[in-house]
Amino acid sequence: MSHPEEFHARLTIFVTIVAGEKNIINRYRHQRAELEYHTAYIEEFVDDICSSFGGYSDFAQVKTRFSRGSYYERTKIIEPNEYDYLPVLSLTDDVAVEVCDVEEDCKLAGQGYKRVKILPGQLQKHFKNLRRNVLCKQNDGVYLKTEIRYSLVEELDSYLKRNHSQNYLGRKNHNEDPAYEIGQFSLHDLVHGPSVCIRVGGPLCTTDIDLCFCIQKSPGCVLVPAFVSSAKCNVVLNENHWTESVLQLQKETGIELPLSDGQHKHVFLTLKFISHLYDKIYWFLFGSCTPDGLISSYAYKLLMQHHSHRQKGPDYNIGKWLEDIVYFIFGFTRKEGDGRDVFRAYGRGDDVYLPDVHFHERKVKVINGDANKGELITLLWIYKHVEHNDNTVWWKRLLDDDFPNNVDKPVHNGLIETECVDKDGLDSLLRSVEYVMTIRSGKPERPPECIWRHMNGAITRVIIDDQKPLDIF
Residues that bind Zn ion (CB under 5 A): 102, 106, 233, 235
> Toward Zn ion, which CB reaches closer, 240 or 297?
240
> Toward Zn ion, which CB reaches closer, 106 or 382?
106
Q: How far is the CB of 299 from Zn ion (least distance, A)?
A: 24
CB 344 within 8 A of CB 461: no
CA 80-84-88 angle, 5° bins: 150
CA 407 – CA 275 distance, rounded (Å) = 18
CB 404 within 8 A of CB 430: yes
- Strand pairing partners for 246? 221
Q: How far is the CB of 104 from Zn ion (least distance, A)?
A: 10
Residue 200 sits at φ, ψ, to 5 deg, of -135, 145
> Toward Zn ion, which CB reaches closer, 60 or 102?
102
DSSP strand pairing (97-101 vs 82-89): unpaired
Sign, Cα dihedral of 335, 339, 342, 343:
positive
> Toward Zn ion, which CB reaches closer, 134 or 235?
235
Q: How far is the CB of 363 from Zn ion (least distance, A)?
A: 15
What is the residue-wise DSSP string for 358-401?
S-TTSEEEEE-HHHHHHHHHHHHHHHHHHHH-S--HHHHHHHST
Identify residue 110 by its one-letter amino acid code: G
> Toward Zn ion, which CB reaches closer, 102 or 224?
102
Q: How far is the CB of 224 from Zn ion (least distance, A)?
A: 16
Closest chain position to Zn ion (CB):
106
Q: How far is the CB of 362 from Zn ion (least distance, A)?
A: 13
> Toward Zn ion, which CB reaches closer, 105 or 177?
105
- Strand pairing partners for 462? 343, 450
Max distance between CA atoms of the chain, in angstroms, equals 75
Q: How far is the CB of 373 from Zn ion (least distance, A)?
A: 32
> Toward Zn ion, which CB reaches closer, 237 or 246?
237
For residue 38, what is the enclosing H or E element? helix 32-56
Q: How far is the CB of 232 from Zn ion (least distance, A)?
A: 7
Q: How far is the CB of 247 from Zn ion (least distance, A)?
A: 24
SS (HEC) of 295-324: CCHHHHHHHHHHCHHHHHCCCCCHHHHHHH
Q: How far is the CB of 28 from Zn ion (least distance, A)?
A: 45
CA nearest to 334, candidates 323, 317, 346: 346
CA 278 – CA 104 distance, rounded (Å) = 43
SS (HEC) of 134-196: CEEEECCEEEECCCHHHHHHHHHHHHHHHHCCCCEEEEECCCCCCCCCCCCEEEECCCECCEE
Q: How far is the CB of 5 from Zn ion (least distance, A)?
A: 52
- Strand pairing partners for 449? 463
> Toward Zn ion, which CB reaches closer, 33 or 236?
236
> Toward Zn ion, which CB reaches closer, 102 or 398?
102
> Toward Zn ion, which CB reaches closer, 95 or 231?
231
Identify residue 253 by its one-letter amino acid code: T
Q: How far is the CB of 323 from Zn ion (least distance, A)?
A: 40
> Toward Zn ion, which CB reaches closer, 238 or 250?
238
Count Cα atoms within 13 angstroms, Cβ side, for 294. 22
CA 130 – CA 204 distance, rounded (Å) = 38
